[in-house]
Amino acid sequence: MLDNKLHSARMKMVRTLLPPANAILDLGGYSASDRRGALLQLGYPHLPENLYIRDFPPDKMMFPGPEWPIKVKHQNCSIEYVYGSMTDLSDFQESSFDLVWSGESIEHITIEEAEQLFDQVYKLLKPGGKFALDTPNRKATKLQFPNNYIHPEHKLEYYFDDLCKLLEKHNFKIVETKGIIDLSQSIETSSQETLNHEFLHSQLLNDNPDRSYCFYICCMRAEDL
């Protein structure tokens, strides 16, 4: 039930918060059940002209899925899989994307790799382009797993303020934030006992990113503001 609630919340996030863009780079955007990739599967309403998906080949993943064609056409959108690590974006030209999206993927790399990634994303964005991401909030996940992360592939689960500061360190300016499933009561009382009930009864999106199960951040290059 918790997974279904989180999926619904992330669908609403993608459908209502992500900005329109003609050229998109989706980091970690492979889907085992939809050849169009996770972004369109979640219902992104602004069909881009070009969508590039950067992820590991399916046979290299913890849970291997089907290997889709490298190039997929969906209506007027050209989708291309560019297999490899999201920490190396040298396959892409600078100033070529309106939106770089990292949907629950930044937690799969180390903080050192994340800093390298941010510098690369900065160069890949067109003037006025946006970098958006969502990720689990360590303030919440540590209530479930005090001594571990919630997924065996996670390298680092961030606190909201820490990730904001890291983005600002790399010359990004935060332009929008949202919380995904408010857990204020459980976080404030450090109570694992109330977490499930609060999770199931909270609104999908909120204005408390620091006290939610996941948080969404959208930022732009400081030089564009």
Average pLDDT over residues 172-197: 96
Residue extents of the structural domains in the chain: 16-136+149-180+215-224
What's the pLDDT score for residue 2? Answer: 81
What's the pLDDT score for residue 128? Answer: 98
DSSP string, 177-221: EEEEEE-HHHHHHT-STTHHHHHHHS-SEES-GGGEEEEEEEEEE
| Residue 32 structure tokens | 């085992």
Report whether pLDDT(29) > 90: yes
Average pLDDT over residues 1-11: 92
16-136+149-180+215-224 belongs to CATH 3.40.50.150: yes
Q: For residue range 50-91, list pLDDT tens digits in order.
A: 999 999 988 877 778 899 999 999 999 999 999 999 999 999
Beta strands in the chain (DSSP E): 23-27, 50-55, 71-74, 77-83, 97-103, 125-136, 172-182, 205-206, 212-221
* pTM confidence score: 0.96
Report whether pLDDT(94) > 90: yes
Report whether pLDDT(204) > 90: yes
Report whether pLDDT(14) > 90: yes
Instruction: Place 207 in a pLDDT band, splitting at 50, 70 and 90.
Output: very high
Residues 40 and 69: beta-carbon distance below 8 Å: no
Residues 205 and 16: beta-carbon distance below 8 Å: yes
Q: To the nearest whole number, what is the mean pLDDT of the chain?
A: 96
Task: Quote the Cα angle for 58-75-69, to 5°.
Answer: 25
Strands 71-74 and 77-83 come out as antiparallel
The lowest-confidence range among 5-9, 61-65, 124-128 is 61-65
